[in-house]
Structure 1
Amino acid sequence: MIRFALPAALLLALAACGQGRYVEQDEYNDPRNRGGERGSILGQGGLILFGSSTARSGTGEAGALGVNAFLWRGTLDTLAFMPLVSADPFGGVIITDWYAPPEAPDERFKVTAYILGRQLRADGVRISVFRQVNSRGQWVDVPVTADMGTALEDRVLARARELRVQSVQTAGR
């Protein structure tokens, strides 16, 4: 049994190494990266690993983010001061861990951000903020002001626009 399992495992590992490549800084919106056979070990119509982004996005872009790259990066940059628990670039969900500001150690915040599509639009990001206060050694949920999530969304959109302008300027050089 081991005599057949070891060579099979080695062949599988070797086959998985065939299409490795480095990811460039902003290749997700680069039209030169459309098409190809990425995502398939056996070529066109072969064994597809982890699904196909062409079915998800309907754009024919294989190997791309499931969401807008500028909104994704803008959200990560905006929430960089908070520790991350989860970041799913294909589903477009970013979840932070609890963060206590140094000026208010008895208060903590948690954020969940949703990137809603592939276009850079004002309604392309939704942010939910959760707040707790320490009351006699127990963390208790308290309401958040209605504009806190909107303020974070505005910061994300501003950062995404900056990134978009930088990419256009870089492409023009």
Structure 2
Amino acid sequence: MSKYLRLALFLIPLCVVSCETVKVDNNDEILTRREQKYKNLDTLFSDDAFTFGNAAKSDKTGEIGIGVNSFLWRASLDTISFMPLKSADPFGGVILTDWYTSSETPGERIKVDILILGRQLRADGLKVSIFQQKLDHGQWIDQPADPATIRELEDIILTQARQLRIKNGK
């Protein structure tokens, strides 16, 4: 065996073993950014976001709040409260419902997705998607949702969010 081959056989396993012990952890950096983002939140329902727990007694370190407008969040949940909730992410501003069938129209069902885009109470800070299906010979067939219905649902949510904001004195 040549001495280069012996050297390679010795160095390759040594390099592989040494690479296994190297750990890359960006968790400290992520936590720091997260703490900076939420460190000034100190009210339960502010215009920008809300915090959980007893905010009045906290020293504002490590508080976690939602990343979207709390009035839009609450108004959205209140507006679709009659529908079964599939998922709600207050940090990403995503609310997803499961299929809902009204007793008045048993052959149709709808599903609503709501995305809250920011921390300001603005009309363009809300995106609503409605999915509609109709029962045809035992199978659910997708139907296009009426854009006017989507607009009407957005208006209801925005109106309720403004009323919540006024009630809260902001």
TM-score (norm 2): 0.66
CA distance in structure 2 between the partners assigned to 1:125 and 1:35 by the alignment: 32
Pairing of 1:88-99 with structure 2 (within 5 A): 88-99=89-100
CA distance in structure 2 between the partners assigned to 1:116 and 1:35 by the alignment: 29
Secondary structure of the residue aligned to 2:71 is helix
Counterpart pick for 1:36 among 57, 60, 76: 60
User: Kindly tell me: are residues 97 and 33 of structure 1, through their superposed partners in 2, closer, same or farther at Cα, counting changes over 3 Å?
Assistant: farther
Shift of 1:26: 2.2
* Alignment gaps of 5+ in structure 1: 1-22, 39-61
Partner of 1:164: 165
Shift of 1:32: 6.7
Instruction: Give the letter for the 1:36 counterpart.
Output: K
Instruction: Give the letter for the 2:110 counterpart.
Output: F
* Residues 34-86 of structure 1: per-residue CA shift (max 9 Å, x gap): 97211xxxxxxxxxxxxxxxxxxxxxxx5221000000000000111101000
Instruction: Give the letter for the 1:108 counterpart.
Output: R
Pairing of 1:90-129 with structure 2 (within 5 A): 90-129=91-130
TM-score (norm 1): 0.65
4+ aligned runs moved over 6 Å, structure 1 = 30-35
* Residues 84-143 of structure 1: per-residue CA shift (max 9 Å, x gap): 000000000000000011110000000000000000011111100000000001011011
Partner of 2:74: 73
Residue pair 2:50, 2:66 contacting (<8 A) in 1 also: no
CA distance in structure 2 between the partners assigned to 1:86 and 1:161 by the alignment: 24
CA radius of gyration, larger in: 2
* Alignment gaps of 5+ in structure 2: 1-41
Secondary structure of the residue aligned to 2:123 is coil
CA distance in structure 1 between the partners assigned to 2:57 and 2:161 by the alignment: 21
Matched, 1:26 2:27: no
User: Kindly tell me: are residues 87 and 33 of structure 1, through their superposed partners in 2, closer, same or farther at Cα, counting changes over 3 Å?
Assistant: farther
CA distance in structure 2 between the partners assigned to 1:97 and 1:147 by the alignment: 21
CA distance in structure 1 between the partners assigned to 2:96 and 2:153 by the alignment: 14
